[in-house]
């Protein structure tokens, strides 16, 4: 598997979402719409973390709007947009790691400590989602794999039905790219679960390092696309 920016983003997407879910009482920090389900479960079952789950989507939306406005401002001044946003995400992930190490472990998801840490992580992943939509739209999504997995299965079915030799090259390239995204996301999930078992909230120290690696890969490969 060749390390590219989308691959590293997918890994971090799976890692941060899993680590957040485990450490913050069921909060999805990347797949924020999943919090509709967990919010309902919190209300119905009386478990903690309802406030954070309710806040996640508006915080996510506000950050995406701010990111778009910042990107427009940077682009108007001929400043690097993608790299700046990636650096900002590193800062938020590092801040979340420090907060988790300082304030955690989180016995309840309703404490201000857990909510603050969770919303910093949600903000970081909001930047990642915005970066993907604007700058890496040709790559598979990096924080949610349902659509990608569905497309892989459709492509496999199409191959079974028969495709032209001319279409096979494009098919192979597409399914390879999507499969790598799913695999890297799954590896991130697995490693986050293992890290949480071993080091608890210190598991959040890895995502900023992976995000820095993403910046280095971006600088090396010049993957930035115009906004």
Tell me the C-alpha distance between 148 and 141, whole Å: 7
Q: Which residues contact 59 (CB under 8 A, 6 or more apart)?
A: 119, 122, 123, 126
Residue 167: what pLDDT? 85
Residue 81: what pLDDT? 95
Mean pLDDT for 123-147 is 94
Q: Which residues contact 76 (CB under 8 A, 6 or more apart)?
A: none
Residue 3: what pLDDT? 81
Residue 48: what pLDDT? 84
Residue 25 has pLDDT above 70, yes or no: yes
Measured N-to-C along each axis, helices 206-221 and 5-23 cross at an angle, to the nearest 10 degrees, of: 170
Q: Where does the pLDDT of residue 221 fall: very low under 50, low under 70, confident under 90, or very high at 90 and above?
A: confident
Tell me the C-alpha distance between 151 and 9, whole Å: 20
Mean pLDDT for 146-171 is 90
Residue 227 has pLDDT above 60, yes or no: no
Mean pLDDT for 97-107 is 96
Mean pLDDT for 40-56 is 90
List the one residue out of 34, 41, 210 whose CA is nearest residue 128: 210
Residue 1: what pLDDT? 60
Residue 226 has pLDDT above 50, yes or no: no
User: What global pTM score does this model have?
Assistant: 0.93
Residue 222: what pLDDT? 60
Residue 225 has pLDDT above 80, yes or no: no
């Amino acid at each position: 598997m060749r390390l590219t920016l989308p691959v590293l983003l997918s890994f971090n997407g799976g890692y941060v979402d899993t680590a957040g879910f485990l450490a913050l009482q069921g909060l999805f920090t990347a797949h924020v719409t999943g919090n509709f389900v967990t919010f309902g479960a919190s209300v119905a079952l009386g478990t903690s973390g309802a406030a954070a789950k309710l806040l996640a989507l508006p915080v996510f939306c506000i950050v995406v709007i701010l990111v778009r406005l910042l990107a427009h401002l940077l682009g108007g001044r001929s400043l690097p947009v993608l790299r700046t946003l990636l650096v900002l995400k590193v800062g938020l992930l590092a801040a979340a790691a420090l907060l988790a190490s300082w304030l955690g472990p989180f016995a309840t998801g309703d404490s201000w400590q857990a909510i603050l840490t969770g919303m910093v992580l949600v903000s970081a992943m909001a930047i990642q989602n915005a970066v993907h939509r604007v700058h890496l739209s040709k790559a598979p999504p990096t924080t949610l794999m349902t659509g990608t997995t569905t497309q892989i299965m459709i492509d496999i079915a199409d191959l079974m039905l028969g495709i032209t030799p001319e279409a096979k090259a494009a098919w192979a390239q597409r399914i390879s790219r999507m499969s790598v995204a799913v695999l890297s996301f799954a590896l991130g999930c697995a490693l986050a679960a293992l890290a949480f078992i071993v080091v608890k909230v210190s598991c959040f120290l890895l995502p900023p390092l992976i995000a820095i690696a993403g910046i280095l890969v971006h600088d090396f490969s010049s993957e930035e696309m115009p906004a």
